[in-house]
Amino acid sequence: MKICFSIIALVIAITVVVAILTRKKVPTLEEKIKSGAVMHDGTKDSIFESPEGSYSLKITSVYETEPETTDENAPDADRVVVVIYEYSNDDISNGLVISSAHFKAYDKSGKELKIYPQANLFEPGEISALGTHTASVAFAISDNAENYVQVDYYNDLASELPDLVYEGVWE
């Protein structure tokens, strides 16, 4: 009996060590910038080239609001931070949509925030060439987190490193 418990404890310990050693490390802000991510300040458009054509993106503001959703599968949230962004299609003939899937967010400690299905947001929409659209995405943030969010934008959803990084602070 003692041998069984010892074996189970050893297997659990090995599993925990392997999980810690193989977990994916989130790159720091400095590592993201060194990898080529553009540091976005919200004052001008950032231009991106894709195989389909070019487009621009600007994160215009961030603000905190009370969680409000009808989605029963929404993550628990004490607070919600909303990111408003604007995108313009310069010359992509088959349309452009930039959805919440293109964004990840982190709090000041580097913890990845979950997307929150906040009610009454500006929804992403497809725009034709020369069109512009304003949309928003919300993230659940813990009650004790600072009023800070780092927002990463991914042109390529399969990429591990962002193309644009924005730091938002609010009062």
Q: Which helix (H) or strand (E) holds 106?
A: strand 103-106
Query: How much is the pLDDT for 42?
Result: 73
Query: How much is the pLDDT for 67?
Result: 95
Please classify residue 6 by burial: count the beta carbons closer than 10 Å to its beta carbon, then call 0-12 exposed, 13-18 middle and 19+ buried: exposed
Query: How much is the pLDDT for 9?
Result: 63
24: DSSP letter: P
Give CA–CA dist 104/21, Å, rounded. Answer: 23
- pTM of the prediction? 0.80
Query: How much is the pLDDT for 171?
Result: 85
Query: How much is the pLDDT for 2?
Result: 67
127: DSSP letter: B
- Written as tens digits, the pLDDT of the chain (171 aa) is 667 666 666 666 666 555 555 555 667 666 766 666 667 777 789 999 888 999 999 999 999 999 999 999 999 999 999 999 999 999 999 999 999 999 999 999 999 999 999 999 999 999 999 999 999 999 999 888 899 999 999 999 999 899 999 999 998
Query: How much is the pLDDT for 20?
Result: 53
The structural domains of the chain, ordered by start, are 27-169 (2.60.40.1240)
Query: How much is the pLDDT for 3?
Result: 74
